Amino acid sequence: MTELAQAVVNGLQMGFLYALVAVGLTIIWGLMEMINFAHGEFLMLGMFGAWWLSAAFHLDPLVAIVPIALMMYAFGVLVYRQLMRRVQGGDPFTQIFATIGLLFLLQNAVVAGFTSDYRFVNDTLLQRLGGAKLQVLGVTFAVPLLLAAALALLLFLVLYLLIERTEFGLALQATSEDRDAARLVGIRPQRMFSVAWGLGAALVAIAGAILVNFFSVYPQVGLQFTVLAYAIVALGGFGSILGTLLAALLVGVIQSVTVVYLPPAFKDAFVFASYLVIGLLRPQGLFGRF
Amino acid sequence: MARIALIVGALVAIVYPIPLQLQGTTYYQTVGFLVLLNAMLGLGWNVIGGWAGQFDFGPQVFFAVGAYTSALLYVKLGVDAWLALPLAAAVAAAICAVLTYPLTRLRGHYFAISTVAIWMIAQPIGATWEYIGAAQGLFIPVKARSSVVTSALSLQFTGPTKALGYYYAALALFALTLALMAWVERSKLGFYFRAIRDDQEAAEGIGIDSRLYKVIARSITAAVFGAGGVLYAFWALSVFPEQALELNWSTLPIMATVVGGIGRLWGPVLGAVILIPIAQIMSTTLGTGPLAGRGIDLIVYGLIIVVIAAFRPTGLLSLPWSRWLRLRRPAIA
């Protein structure tokens, strides 16, 4: 029983980290309905940025979040303006093609610059708390993961308020609903799309800066997180910020509980099996509106 | 005009390896084999992705089903490759139909993720199922063949003629797939698929069962991928999960289809002819030498893809070729 409770707690903690990776995707893919296969490479850039700032300037990843987020916002806007805006005119599948090209380009540019070695960020603020643990009813909470989870929650709250409660957020939603109608009421869709790409890239880079506290960094690190992130966004329902958070927690719990009973190879398979079961019962995702 | 181009293309495809073979090089035959294999898979994916308009990111599962079925038939029952080929394609199509029917409840991106889900579930099954060799997979032993004819009849080529033999085997399968797809495109099936893609509600309004025809479209795709898997298995002489279920077996055909022109019969062919040699040639030129292992070839490859996508998002076949070709002719006043 304690083992199961511990698995659920571990899963929830991982779930918050997954939520961080997925939330950028919710904006670009879930809300604006554009496909970005290079999402994992944005994450990888965020992680490499945090590693580099730590190695070169002894900047703690938690501090590095600010410059990294700003840089990646600019990068996301650049990608939209120079590439995705042109691609939007073609078939939706062209977005896949273009972003796979971007994936090759970014991943291998980092391989060329830094090689494929695994890198670690040592002695960060969160890692110094490494030994600290909270014991509640025989279940152990690791303090660094708890802090990361709190950060993730804070980010989600800000984003939720931004999308659901501000005029800007409404304009973003209006653009995703009907581009031409949005233009009629004075919203500039191109601007909304570039802000969405900037936000999506900045958010996943922030996720990267937090993840370097717990995971090693290498150019191919993105894929394992993004495959799950895609499942999380679809599971939560398109365009739902709250749905993404809850789906991410669910995915974390499914993974860690699966590992208690089945070989570890099956942990992702079980997440996707759950997606299929839930999808067949509720084709629009858990919290999807359409 | 189109007929002349077809004949010239066929002649080039048949003849070009022969002088190379006589010179003793085999490299370009292998490149040709990969071009034809990916063109064939692209033709298959064009049915579900291009004509039926469904996001399918998991056709590599049926590539693996085909590869494993033929390897099992060969290793356990001694069934030869050419006999196993239609069986494997049929098994792939049947498994696809059973798996896809429930998935067609989902639409758009939700359907896309469900095809990825099947792939994610297939991977640990392939890696742990002892009967199909688990992570090590299955080895396909080569039986000694005395002559070219017996090699061709058993789809097992060895020695210096290996690349050439598989090139022509791939050419035959590719031509068969192309003919089949040309027929599908003009048949009632093809029109139903495109009707569902353009407006699913309207298609249902005139009595097309959209779920049934999506399943049929994806099963045709699966059959082609299954056949491709058989060819690849006998070329590679082994089948194992990481190879047969590799993501490239869906991304390369999809990219070939998109770059050539999605939803057009010749789109995947043109795309494969452009993309695969670029990737191969760059990995042998830029991928070796002082900068080896630094991914320079893939950076250039990625850059080429990004540039094509940015400047011709509707595919290369959508360029005004007929106007350009007419310009070259002498003007008749």
Beta strands in A91-183 (DSSP E): 133-136, 139-142
Per-residue b/e over B111-134, b at no fewer than 16 CB within 10 Å? bbbbbbbbbbbbbbebbeeeebbe
pLDDT at position B325: 66
The residue-averaged pLDDT of A33-42 equals 89
Ranges of H-type helices in B46-135: 60-77, 81-103, 108-128
% chain B with pLDDT above 90: 45
- Return d(Cα A41, Cα A24) in angstroms, integer: 12
**Pick among B48, B113, B197 to test the A interface (most A CBs inside 10 A):** B113
3-state DSSP call for residue B133? coil
Planar angle of CA A94, A69, A155, nearest 5 degrees = 95
CB distance A105–B110 less than 8 Å? no
Measuring CA to CA, which residue among A162, A133, A161 is closest to residue A147?
A133
- The CB-side HSE value for B295 (13 A sphere, CA atoms) comes to 19
**pLDDT per residue as tens digits for the range A9-30:** 888 988 998 998 998 888 888 8
pLDDT at position B185: 93
What parts of chain B have a pLDDT lower than 50?
331-333
**pLDDT per residue as tens digits for the range B150-209:** 777 777 887 777 888 889 999 999 999 999 999 999 999 999 999 999 999 999 999 999
**Pick among A87, A104, A218 to test the B interface (most B CBs inside 10 A):** A104
Q: Is B198 exposed, middle or buried (0-12, 13-18, 19+ CB in 10 A)?
A: exposed
**pLDDT per residue as tens digits for the range A72-111:** 999 999 999 988 888 887 777 788 888 888 998 998 888 8
What CATH architecture applies to the domain A2-281? Answer: Orthogonal Bundle (1.10)
Contacts of B302 in chain A (CB under 8 A): 101-106, 108
CB of A145 closer than 8 Å to CB of A129: no
Would you kindly state where each structural domain of chain A is located, as residue ranges?
Answer: 2-281
Region of residue A66 (left: phi > 0; alpha: psi -120 to 50; beta: else): alpha
- Return d(Cα A231, Cα B158) in angstroms, integer: 44
User: What distance in Å separates residue A209's CA from the closest CA in chain B?
Assistant: 25
Tokens of B107: 């639409």
CB of A87 closer than 8 Å to CB of B313: yes
Strand pairing report for A133-136 and A139-142: antiparallel
- Which B residues in the span 295-324 are in contact with A, Cβ-Cβ below 8 Å? 295-296, 298-299, 301-306, 308-315
pLDDT at position B100: 94
ipTM of predicted assembly, 2 dp: 0.83
Other beta carbons within 10 Å of B208? 18
**pLDDT per residue as tens digits for the range A123-177:** 777 776 666 666 766 677 777 788 888 888 888 888 889 888 888 888 888 888 8
Region of residue B164 (left: phi > 0; alpha: psi -120 to 50; beta: else): alpha
pLDDT at position B96: 96
User: What distance in Å separates residue A158's CA from the closest CA in chain B?
Assistant: 26
% chain A with pLDDT above 70: 93
pTM above 0.80, yes or no: yes
Count of positions (residues) in chain A: 290
